[in-house]
A and B are shown apart, each in its own frame.
Chain A
Amino acid sequence: MRTELALRLAVIFVAFVWAGFRFERLARPLFAAPAEARLRPFGPRAWGVVVNVFGHARLLRKPYAGLLHAAMFFGFLFLLTAVAQVFGQGVSPLFDLDAVGGSTWIAFGQDVFAVLLLTGVAMAAFQRGVWKPERFMGSNQRDAAIILCLITAVVVGMLMQNAFRVAGGDPSARWRPVSSLIAAAIVSSGVTGTAAAHGATAFAWMHMLAILAFLVYIPGSKHLHMLVGIPNVYLRDLKPAGRLVTPDLEQPTLGLSDIGQLGRKQTLDLYACTECGRCQELCPAFASGKPLSPKLLIMNLRDHLLKTRGVGGHRAGLRGALIGGAVAEETIWSCTTCRACMEACPLFIEHVPKIVDMRRHLAMEAGRVPDGISGAMLSIEQRGHPWAGTRFSRLDWCRDLGVRVLAPGEATDTLLWVGCTAALDARAQKVARALVRLLRAAGADFAILGEDEKCTGDSARRTGNDYLFQMQAAANIETLNARSFRQIVSICPHCVNTLKNEYADFGGAYDVLHHSQLLSGLMENGRLPGPPKSDSAPGAVAFHDPCYLGRYNGEFDAPRAVLGGFGATVAEMERSRGRSFCCGGGGGRAFAVEPPDQRINVIRAQQARATGAPVVATACPFCLLMLDDGCKTAARNDGGGAPQQVRDIAELLDDALRGAGAAAIS
């Protein structure tokens, strides 16, 4: 008895020291990282933990995986009582939890949750071993298998320990239905009394050793999320989704080129990743065959961090190894910043800010930006718009419409922020023209900035050129602040996002609406007349949610309300609303050179085609151009046939109000 106790203490000591070293290796870079101010406000942060950790809100979007996780999560929580018992008794035989129900309701709960936990393990094993969803591609399957085995060992150890105790006459028998069942089998095989007591001791050892093995194993495993998951959810970003952190351009290094520059929460993200692949599954870059998986990005950053900083702790000689080593430049440029990954991540890992941060290094320090993107950025710098080579100047689209141009000092109710694409691209100009007709029909007082409007800098910021973005922001804010208006309305969700969420950092606070919001409001309060009675119903329209309208700014209903308002039926694509699949044009990718076999817009067009609707509606000029192009290719790939028409919601509404005949001469 004495030697066994000493052995037990020695094993526990060794395991704790071993685990301590392994945890310390993780903690060192974490605490060396600069902390972001993310501890407050407590209320909303804690509520997010309740909803997303205890409520499994995001996990349950996949019912099977969500349920198996819930079974294991709540099972684990309850079996912490068994952990307390086995270690308490391991250190002192006098320890028990009887005062709080250790041999009554806790005993009962342990039996029930053990079964629940084992069910979860079985479901997980089935998912990993038989079902094998594609999202696990690239995840560490061996790690997952080891974890499932260790959990099984812990639970089986506990159940058997209790069963042998019951067989030896433990009074908690009537509270332990499952253990009693196993005990009956043990007794019927002739094991009772001292033999049963020995059995209980043996399984107590198994129980304890499995827990200790788990403890030692966790620091090198994806299962680390059980410790850092809660803090990671608590420390999640509460800023508006569309607001990136503004860097100080005077600091000596710009952007992320060394893993040691990652902030503390950004580092914690790397430890939190469970390799579940929900991000990878929704990533349009991954789907199109580009060398980016948000999951692998996080895993590679984590491995790089531990390789370079966990072991030696010296940064010398390791600089620059991040980009081009752990993460390829091509990977960094593949992202459309569509945010599908971040929206899906159950643990609120922030993929996009890390990618943009690495782009900042490439754009502002290394000067290595892919051709198409660098040309567009140079054009923004030289001409105030990215569409180098356009044959239009900013007022050409509305020369015959006589739209009022707001001069400095003048006032209007609604400032129409046209955006570069709607002003300078022949196809997108039709959207601006349609919107002007609608605003006039509604009797709105509106004006535009004309030649004084410059690119908001969204593409510049998202391709890492924050210098250019900040120049654009300063120039536009000066222009805007010299005029008075009640609200800004834009056709472009990227402009809306930047004006609404990002200019605040530079002294520009405005009421900003997307045209879908304005139009749905005008329809609701009757300022836009109902569509004229016509014989042909508008029919089915597939609606593509622009990322910067939906995921970034939470507006899914207004464009659908506009479509529904004139009688169209919205044919929902499989990937819609929060799970919408990017057109491929975000994050500066509208200007990038896309390899023909990796076109995201074609994939999206095929998804739209699958609805069978003759018209694809969208509410963003980038989406409009990308899908217009994609639908033609999709139709050709589909063996010919007419491509779907791609229209902005404003064009469709304008058509409906003017009657179909007027549509041809827009």
Chain B
Amino acid sequence: MRVVVCLKQVIDPLTPATALVLDASAKKIRGGAANPPVINGFDEQGIEAALRLRETNEDVEIVCVAVGERFNNDVMKRSLAVGADQLILVQDPSLDTWNAYPIAATLAAVIRQIGGADLVICGRQGSDWDNGLTPFILAEQLGMPLLTLAKRVSITGETRIEIERALADGSMTMDAALPAVVTVTSELGALRMPSVSARLTAARKQPRQIALAELDVAATPSPAPEVVDLTIPVTSRICTFIEAADGPGAGARLAEILLQTGAVRLGGER
């Protein structure tokens, strides 16, 4: 059984705002040299889901596929270190896009090229833009059912998939025939730590590179959504010590300041 896990390389979501660099003309954000990218956290949980399937099912082959502009191999090879059998990268400048269509179409083309998949696992969304569209388009392109927000994934009778969906007020069990696309969510749990021997072995392995031109990618419908403007929110802190003789005095002074600065308004005012 082949399980394909789709990965996205993203700007480290924990990069401090002061380190982000805005490329205004290209309408893109870069993490800066000192802040290497990471594998999208939800996608890492996808790898974890696949590894758990391998613990309970025989002959599970895990293939990780990532498409994007340019990859940091050391970062992406974490997937090999934790136990993926293969890592496939498609690198092309045109894949640095906000549009989910060409991304999903390229992923689908890779999956078709390697001979299909029994199960495709995606993270619920990318932590950079949070669009969450790729898995939907991918399922459409592959003609597979889509099961979303899984916190537990299991294979029943080798031909069906069962997931437990995380809901705000409980959970839901869903079941579908394989092949299928599943998205996983953070309740599934973090990706395991690789052992050092696995890391050292992974360090010697190389990802398989496929050129975009070698793939039969479906055409992107137009018009595509467009990014009109992009800014980094500026946050600042002003710290003021309130001088007052006692508690009530300090409270009154605080209320005055809040009113003056417009942080609070009196009832009825709009």
A binds B: yes
Q: A-side interface residues toward B, CB under 8 Å?
A: 249-250, 252, 254, 363-369, 374, 378-379, 382-384, 388-394, 396, 451, 467
Q: How far is the CA of A451 from the CA of B196 in the complex (A)?
A: 27
Are A367 and B16 in contact, with the CB atoms below 8 A?
Answer: no
Q: A249-B200, A391-B17, A451-B33 are in contact. Are A383 and B195 (CB under 8 A)?
A: no
A666 to chain B, nearest CB (A): 13
Among candidates A382, A391, A394, A451, residue contacting B38 with C-beta atoms closer than 8 Å: A382
Interface residues as binary, B157-197 with A (CB distance below 8 Å gives 1, 0 otherwise)? 00000000000000000000000000000000000111111
A360 closest partner in B (C-beta): B196
Taking CB atoms, residues of chain B closer than 8 Å to A249 are 196, 200
Q: How far is the CA of A365 from the CA of B200 in the complex (A)?
A: 12
Q: How far is the CA of A388 from the CA of B16 in the complex (A)?
A: 10
Q: How far is the CA of A374 from the CA of B14 in the complex (A)?
A: 16
Within 8 A of A (CB), among B13-71: 14, 16-19, 33-36, 38
B12 within 8 Å of A by Cβ? Answer: yes
Q: How far is the CA of A384 from the CA of B194 in the complex (A)?
A: 18
B152 within 8 Å of A by Cβ? Answer: no
Are A382 and B12 in contact, with the CB atoms below 8 A?
Answer: yes
Q: How far is the CA of A544 from the CA of B110 in the complex (A)?
A: 60
Interface secondary structure of B, over-half rule: loop
A272 to chain B, nearest CB (A): 32
Among candidates A366, A369, A383, A451, residue contacting B14 with C-beta atoms closer than 8 Å: A383
Candidate in A366, A367, A390 with the most chain B CB atoms within 10 angstroms: A367
6 residue pairs of the A-B complex, CB under 8 angstroms, read A388-B14, A389-B14, A392-B16, A392-B18, A396-B16, A396-B18
Interface secondary structure of A, over-half rule: loop
A459 to chain B, nearest CB (A): 15
Q: How far is the CA of A249 from the CA of B198 in the complex (A)?
A: 11
B2 within 8 Å of A by Cβ? Answer: no
Are B16 and A365 in contact, with the CB atoms below 8 A?
Answer: no
A22 to chain B, nearest CB (A): 40
Are B196 and A393 in contact, with the CB atoms below 8 A?
Answer: no
Taking CB atoms, residues of chain A closer than 8 Å to B38 are 382
Q: How far is the CA of A168 from the CA of B35 in the complex (A)?
A: 92
Taking CB atoms, residues of chain A closer than 8 Å to B19 are 393
B residues contacting the other copy or chain, number (CB 8 A): 20
Closest 10 CB pairs of A and B: A367-B193, A451-B34, A393-B19, A364-B196, A467-B196, A393-B16, A391-B16, A393-B18, A365-B195, A388-B14
Are A367 and B12 in contact, with the CB atoms below 8 A?
Answer: no
Taking CB atoms, residues of chain B closer than 8 Å to A390 are 14, 16
B35 closest partner in A (C-beta): A383
A563 to chain B, nearest CB (A): 28
Within 8 A of A (CB), among B80-114: none
A86 to chain B, nearest CB (A): 58
B25 to chain A, nearest CB (A): 24
Q: How far is the CA of A365 from the CA of B192 in the complex (A)?
A: 12
Q: How far is the CA of A390 from the CA of B199 in the complex (A)?
A: 27
A367 to chain B, nearest CB (A): 4
Q: How far is the CA of A363 from the CA of B195 in the complex (A)?
A: 7
Q: How far is the CA of A392 from the CA of B197 in the complex (A)?
A: 34
A106 to chain B, nearest CB (A): 61
A378 closest partner in B (C-beta): B193
Are B194 and A367 in contact, with the CB atoms below 8 A?
Answer: yes
Q: How far is the CA of A254 from the CA of B200 in the complex (A)?
A: 13
Q: How far is the CA of A378 from the CA of B81 in the complex (A)?
A: 14
Q: A249-B200, A250-B200, A394-B34 are in contact. Are A363 and B16 (CB under 8 A)?
A: no
Taking CB atoms, residues of chain B closer than 8 Å to A365 are 195-197
Q: How far is the CA of A249 from the CA of B199 in the complex (A)?
A: 11
Taking CB atoms, residues of chain B closer than 8 Å to A382 are 12, 36, 38, 75
B38 closest partner in A (C-beta): A382
Taking CB atoms, residues of chain A closer than 8 Å to B200 are 249-250
Q: A250-B200, A451-B34, A467-B199 are in contact. Are A363 and B12 (CB under 8 A)?
A: no
A392 closest partner in B (C-beta): B16
B18 closest partner in A (C-beta): A393
Q: How far is the CA of A378 from the CA of B19 in the complex (A)?
A: 20
Among candidates B14, B33, B196, residue contacting A254 with C-beta atoms closer than 8 Å: B196
A253 to chain B, nearest CB (A): 9
Taking CB atoms, residues of chain A closer than 8 Å to B16 are 390-393, 396
Are A367 and B34 in contact, with the CB atoms below 8 A?
Answer: no
Q: How far is the CA of A388 from the CA of B15 in the complex (A)?
A: 9
Given contacts A390-B16, A393-B35, A394-B34, 11 further A-B contacts (CB under 8 A): A365-B195, A365-B196, A365-B197, A367-B193, A379-B14, A388-B14, A389-B14, A392-B18, A393-B16, A393-B34, A467-B199
B128 to chain A, nearest CB (A): 15
Q: How far is the CA of A467 from the CA of B16 in the complex (A)?
A: 26
Candidate in A250, A374, A384, A467 with the most chain B CB atoms within 10 angstroms: A467
Q: A382-B12, A389-B14, A393-B19 are in contact. Are A364 and B195 (CB under 8 A)?
A: yes
Taking CB atoms, residues of chain A closer than 8 Å to B193 are 363, 367-369, 374, 378
Q: How far is the CA of A384 from the CA of B200 in the complex (A)?
A: 20
Q: How far is the CA of A368 from the CA of B18 in the complex (A)?
A: 34
